[in-house]
Amino acid sequence: MNTQTPFKEMRTAKEKLVVIGNGMAGCRAVEEILTRDPDRYEITIFGAEPRVNYNRIMLSPVLAGEKTFDEIVINGQDWYEENNIALSGGSPVDHIDRDAKTVVTRSGQVAPYDKLVIATGSDPFIIPIPGNDLEGVVTFRDLDDVENMVAAAEKGGDAIVIGGGLLGLEAAHGLSLRGMKVTVIHLMPTLMERQLDEAAGWLLRQELESRGQTILTGANTKEIQGKEGRVAGIELEDGTRVKADIVVMAVGIRPSTGLAKQAGIDCERGIMVDDHMVTSDPAIMAVGECVQHRGLCYGLVAPLWEMCRALADHATDAPTGYPGSVTSTKLKVSGINLFSAGDFSGGEGCEDIVMRDATRGVYKRLVLKDDRLIGAVLYGDTADGNWYFDLLRKEEDLSHIREGLIFGQAFASGGALADPSFAVAALSDDAEICGCNGVSKSTVVTCIEKGAHSLDAVRSQCKASASCGSCTDLVESLLSLTLGGEVESGPQTMCSCTSFTHDDVRRLILEKQLKEIPEVMQELHWTTPDGCSACRPALNYYLMCAWPGEYVDDQKSRFVNERLHANIQKDGTYSVVPRFFGGITNPRELRAIADAVEKYDARMVKVTGGQRLDIFGIRKEDLPAVWADLNAAGLVSGHAYGKALRTVKTCVGSEWCRFGTQDSTGLGVKLEHATWGSWMPHKFKMAVSGCPRNCAESTIKDFGVICVDSGYELHVGGNGGIKVRVTDLLCKVETEEEAMEHCLAFIQLYREDAHYLDRTAPWLERKGLDWIKAQLFDDPQSISRLAQRFRYSQQFSQDDPWAQRAAGDRKDLHSHLAEVRPLAMEKA
């Protein structure tokens, strides 16, 4: 993502909407606006993090190793492109000029607005004690914090979490699962005292201690102690000392109001807004954790969704208003069922109903006032949490079911022996099913009635159960009720259009000899006539891989970047990346690039991390002519946009470097000639380093070669992106020819087995290195057969005319191969 190019005003009559904040609230507000009036605004989003929008409440499962970052992305890059949203990631806004109606970033970008949305969220509170700035003291607010904690956990040792609230306990759980010895320091006598009463807090503490955590309550931190600039432990007010290799501050958050205050917008604890989320400046709205509404600030996700709906109504001239929220809490710690909502402090006029079942570890407490539920705490059995929350929000008179209320919805309503789905069936249409995404019962039912007949389809279409998963049972009950049958949980389906998984589809394409996208959809009973943006590209790839030479690539089923052989940029122009085989170029190619830059008025040329030149600012209508000029000089596409081979990075190796052991550049060029233009499940990067100093960074590539005195070490499954993964050693070989053959075999195995949009890293982790080695090495002929299938498919690799092959095409390079078509997708 290029975040340094100057902001370029699009030529349009649309109103300009600028959003400061690329987090959950800012992007949800944009989603709501697009749902109501998709053509009204030209939208620009500025985000402080260099990432797309992700689900911050799911950072706890990422820390615990239960999810990856890719699994918590809410809106990927395609969403921004499809909705013509200009995203400037890693570009914090420095100030707002209300008179000029512009925002200015730290890097100097200036963006005008007609309407502005401030969604800056909150900042973690750092306890003002000595040592709080030591290396190893972290907070728990974003992905960078999670990565810091994961890195610390990989070294092992002791962790201290200061704060026994919701976030602190989730951090402690994640670090504990990753092998650290965890101590939780909490100032108050009861864990999660804002959500739990003393009895439930005690049960929670007992459970956490049984898992190996040390819980110190009523403990006030006096000082964080360090050694040589790094955290070494803490000292409490009572003199107790606890050692630590990392200290996590999770003691609370504060609304991020700095930008608003600097601009002269009214703020108290948060940015003050009215019921339409409008600030003291009529052109500026605010939403999320940064706002204060009717004297309250909210730190949970459900109120954010309600605010976003009210904001979108106002922004599209259909104002409704936001009355405030009643909130509930669930703890995202595996195996602990905990629910809390409303006010359980009690007091004059309040009545407690309590149930304890020590054997089952169940505790329930309901607080009533004037025969209305005002608070609920459930531990151990939270099945009725949504029902209690619905009663609490609606303030219903419960005197008629008072005697059975504590035993749950089915008993209180006379249905103790009724259908197991009674509880969800009796919920009102506007009852909240998914608190993470603000989805009601009626929304889920409508989604099912319109064709979402699986859990995955519901998740895809309305997002219910797509986040923390705690409402999965409710969604499955609604599926069962609506469809009249039980819903089976199983592997994730390919998309909402089908009940088949990726593996099912790949297998059935071969078994049933399916050779066209419509044929697959007909035979496998697709629920939509033409598929969707998720399944069509996948089917197109699976058919190309299964039937090389027979199936014709369907350009309509490709993403826009692949169709245009260029990467769309945030200002609507494109970048073009010619291929430099092995990172080598020559005067003719450089002259052609320079001529194209001048002729087509490109705004920037940048050296990429893959040893190529990226030409920015090409207009869409000029792309065919640009490629024609570059092709004339022998330059072909670098596929920087494609689910294909991207680059083969090399160092100079033994030809020039005094440390080089082999000709790494020559091998890199041969590998790139052999593999370029090959479509893959995802982008694929390679590197060849001439010695163990690894200057080409081979150990973070999908396939990497390290040259050594005795031959070549072959590494697989690396990733240098947001989540860095170091490669696994596949094997060692003695000759360049063996290295080539093993590379082609590994690529073909990946192409034939991985799910579409799987990088090699998650594919390897899912299948296991031992499985991959078995496929390659158990049969002495496997390497040869896989490599031959790859070479055969390369004969039919089709490129758009804009990116045609250079002279000396692939078929000539591999003319030595016997042209005997192997069985499609033959397994070793």
Going along the chain from its start, the domains and CATH numbers come out as 15-122+255-315 (3.50.50.60), 137-251 (3.50.50.60), 337-418 (3.30.390.30), 432-483 (1.10.10.1100), 502-558 (no CATH), 561-632 (3.90.480.10), 645-813 (3.30.413.10)
Which of 258, 318, 268, 321 has its CA nearest to residue 118? 258
Distance between CA 490 and CA 454 in Å, rounded? Answer: 10
Local structure of 68: helix, strand or coil: coil
Upper half-sphere CA count for residue 545 (Cβ side, 13 Å): 30
Which of 590, 275, 327 has its CA nearest to residue 436? 327
* Neighbour order of strands in the sheet with 181-185: 137-139, 246-249, 158-162, 181-185, 214-216
Q: Which one-letter amino acid corresponds to residue 422?
A: F
Q: State how beta strands 439-440 and 432-434 pair.
A: antiparallel
Amino acid 287: pLDDT: 97
* DSSP labels, 384-419: THHHHHHHHHHT---GGGGGGGGG-HHHHTT-TTS-
CB neighbours of 664 closer than 8 A, spacing ≥ 6?
A: 650, 651, 652, 653, 654, 688, 689, 690, 696, 705, 707
- Positive or negative CA dihedral for 707, 712, 713, 715? positive
Amino acid 338: pLDDT: 85
Amino acid 453: pLDDT: 79
Task: List helix spans (H) across 524-617.
Answer: 535-546, 560-564, 587-599
Amino acid 426: pLDDT: 67
- Residue ranges for the known binding site are 651, 657, 691, 695
Q: State how beta strands 122-124 and 291-293 pair.
A: unpaired
- Residue ranges for the known binding site for siroheme are 695
Q: Calculate ∠ Cα 22-252-436, nearest 5°.
A: 50
What's the pLDDT tens digit per position in 368-413?
999 999 999 998 888 788 888 888 988 889 988 888 888 887 666 5
End-to-end CA gap in the chain: 39
CB 669 within 8 A of CB 696: no
Estimate to the nearest angstrom the gap between the alpha carbon of 155 and the chain centroid: 25
The tokens for 724 are 């860095």
CB 499 within 8 A of CB 453: yes
Q: What is the total residue count of the chain?
A: 828
Using 70 as the pLDDT threshold, list the residues of the chain that sit under it: 1-12, 331-335, 359, 410-423, 426, 467-470, 484-492, 529, 570, 722, 797-828
Distance between CA 561 and CA 620 in Å, rounded? Answer: 11
- Model-level pTM? 0.56
Amino acid 449: pLDDT: 84
Amino acid 627: pLDDT: 87
Amino acid 189: pLDDT: 93
108 conformational bin, left if phi > 0, alpha if psi -120 to 50, beta if neither: left
What's the pLDDT tens digit per position in 524-564?
878 776 787 788 889 999 999 999 888 888 887 877 777 77
Amino acid 114: pLDDT: 97
Amino acid 6: pLDDT: 39
Q: Calculate ∠ Cα 214-218-221, nearest 5°.
A: 80
- Residue ranges for the known binding site for [4Fe-4S] cluster are 651, 657, 691, 695
Amino acid 422: pLDDT: 56
Helix-helix angle 143-154:166-177, to 10 degrees: 40
**CB-based burial label for 367 (10 Å; 0-12, 13-18, 19+):** buried
